[in-house]
Amino acid sequence: YGTVAPLHDAALDNEAQATAAAAELAAQRFRVAAVRTQEKKRNPLPPFITSTLQQESFRRLRFSGQKTMVLAQQLYDGIEVAAEGATGLITYMRTDSTRISPDALTEVRNYIGATYGPNYLPEEARQYRFRETSQDAHEGVRPTAVERTPISLKRHLDADQYRLYELIWQRFVASQMNPALVLTTTAEIEAGPYLLRASGSRVKFDGFARAYASPLIEEPGPEGAAKLPALAEG
């Protein structure tokens, strides 16, 4: 989405000045003076640890830290899943490590390749740095089996359990996917005595966001804003 701002030092301290500037701009002929497009890579985030799970659960689901941990404990202790009986659906949720076992990495990479295609699968498994203070006694928070997709478990979970499991599952799968590519375009526009700048972005390749929507590549404009049109110098 595009945003436009004046680059000159005109003082717009009140409504009268803003109205006068708008009227002056309306009388001008606009000309694109320069266009720059830059490709930016957005990498996925690591699997959850306790603190990031609580933070993201609050941001996305509005669950308190306590509620998140109660639900995570339920998913860890086990849920009745049809013929499987009581089944632990996530790894231990009290952890400060992003380490993932080799077997789980193999499983998720096979799933990504089969489900999303080779363009979404890195050549090698992603490794995330541990914090120096990390105990590394447990893995990061992940599903115990990536094949247990959220939708396949929905009828076995209550609404809040489902939403938290979906968050954990999506974050884990996305953590082993290729980066997203975002094209950012900036145009400088001459309008009489004014120089304006319009900027916008669009997703060239969704990458990890195919599994886990992320604010790293979401750059919505204000409600009702038009998308930046194709622009060329002159």
Catalytic residues: 92
Instruction: Quickly tell me which residue has 């247990």 as its tokens.
Output: 148
Task: Report CA-CA distances (Å) from 227 to 3, 98, 198, 200, 224.
Answer: 9, 38, 11, 8, 9
Q: How far apart are CA 32 and CA 187, in angstroms?
A: 7
SS3 content of the chain, % helix, strand, coil (to 5): 35, 20, 40
**103: exposed, middle or buried (C-beta count within 10 Å: 0-12, 13-18, 19+)?**
exposed
d(CA 34, CA 23): 24
In DSSP terms, 183 is beta-bridged to 39, 202
| Separation between Cα atoms, residue 3 and residue 53, nearest integer Å | 33
